[in-house]
Amino acid sequence: MREKLPPVFHVCNQHYKEARNSFNALGKNFKSRKALELEDRLILLNVYLQLLSKIHFKEQRLKFESFDPFKTICKSLKRIHHYKLAMTAFEGEKRSMGNSYNTYENFLAAEKKELYKKAYEGLVSAPLDIWEELYTTSYHYSKGVTPLMVNTATTQLINEEIEDISVVDADLLDSQSIRDLMEGLRTIHAVENINISLGLNPYFISNIHLEMKELSQLVIKWHQTHLFAQHLNFFLGENDQVGTKYLDLAKRTKVKKQRLTKELANLCMQFFSKLVC
C-alpha cells in the first residue's frame, strides 16, 4: 500500500512535479519560458527547504546541503532571466527612440545562443538522482510537521528577510542592496504562497501585499534598466566605432536608472517605515 503523503508536503509535491516537467521539457526543447518556469519552481522548493530547516533546526544539512546540487542549474537559469530582463528594457528603449541597432542586436543574438547552449548542457548533464534526493529529503522531513510549525517557521523566515532588506537610509541604497531587496521580496512572496497553499493566513494584510507588489514591480523595472545599462556599456567597450545613436542610448539609459533609483529609494522608505511602526 502506498504511503500517504504528509499533509504539509502536498505543496512541495506540486512544485516538485511542475519543476520536473519543466526540466524534462527543457531537455527536449530549450525555451526561455520553460527556463523561467523552472527557476520559479526551484525558488519555491528552496524556500520550502528553508522552512523545514527552521523546524528541524538541528539538521544543518537541510539548509546547507539539500539544495546544493541545483545551484549550478539555478545560476544558468538566472543568467537567462537577466538576459530576458535586459532585452525587455532594450526593446522598450528601441521603440521610444525609433532607431535600429543592428550591430547591438547581432551581439545580443550571439550572446543568447551561447547562454542557452551552456544552460542546456548544464541541464542534460545534471545527474537525475539529484531530483530523487531532493524529493526524498523533503518528504522525510515533512513527516510530523504541522501547519502551526510551518506558520512559526514562515514568521521567522519573513522576519529575517525583512530585517536583511529593510531600507533605513535612502543614501545607502546601492546596486547590491537593490539586488538583495529583489531577492528578499521574491522569497517573501514564495513564503506567502506556501502559507496560502496550506490554508494558513498570510503574514501580511492585503494592503501591505499591494504595496509590496508595487515595490516589487519598481525593483524589477530598475533591475531591467540596470542590467541593460551594464550590457550596453560592455558592448560599447568592445565596439568603440559604433555611431552616436548608441552613445545617446547609453546616456538615456543612465539618466533613466538614476531616476528609477530615486523613485525606488523614496518608495522603500515609505514602505519599510510602515513595517517598523
Residue type, 169: D
Cβ-based neighbours of 166, under 8 Å, separated by 6 or more? 272, 275, 276
Please report, as a single letter, which amino acid is at residue 141: Y
Helix pair 244-275, 71-97: axis angle to 10 deg? 120
Of 161, 158, 162, 166, which is closest to residue 201 (Cα–Cα)?
158
| CA-based end-to-end distance of the chain | 53
Rg (CA), the chain: 21
Tell me the average pLDDT across 254-271: 93
CB neighbourhood size of 148 (10 A): 9
Tens digits of per-residue pLDDT, 29-65? 999 999 999 999 999 999 999 999 999 887 766 655 7
Q: Which of 31-35, 222-226, 270-274 has the lowest mean pLDDT?
A: 270-274
Write down the pLDDT at residue 1: 37
User: Above pLDDT 70, what percent of the chain?
Assistant: 95
Instruction: Tell how far CA 233 is from the center of its chain.
Output: 24
At 157, the pLDDT band (50, 70, 90 cuts) reads very high
pLDDT above 80: residue 197: yes
Which residues, other chains included, contact 10 with Cβ-Cβ below 8 Å and sequence gap of 6+?
197
The total number of residues written for the chain in this structure: 277
- Render the burial of 4-37: b for 16+ CB within 10 Å, e for the rest: eebebbebbeebbebbbebbebbeeebebebbeb
Question: CA-based diameter of the chain, in Å?
Answer: 71
Under DSSP, the state recorded for 126 is: S
Three cell numbers at 243?
555611431
- The full set of domains in the chain, from first to last, is 9-275 (1.40.20.10)
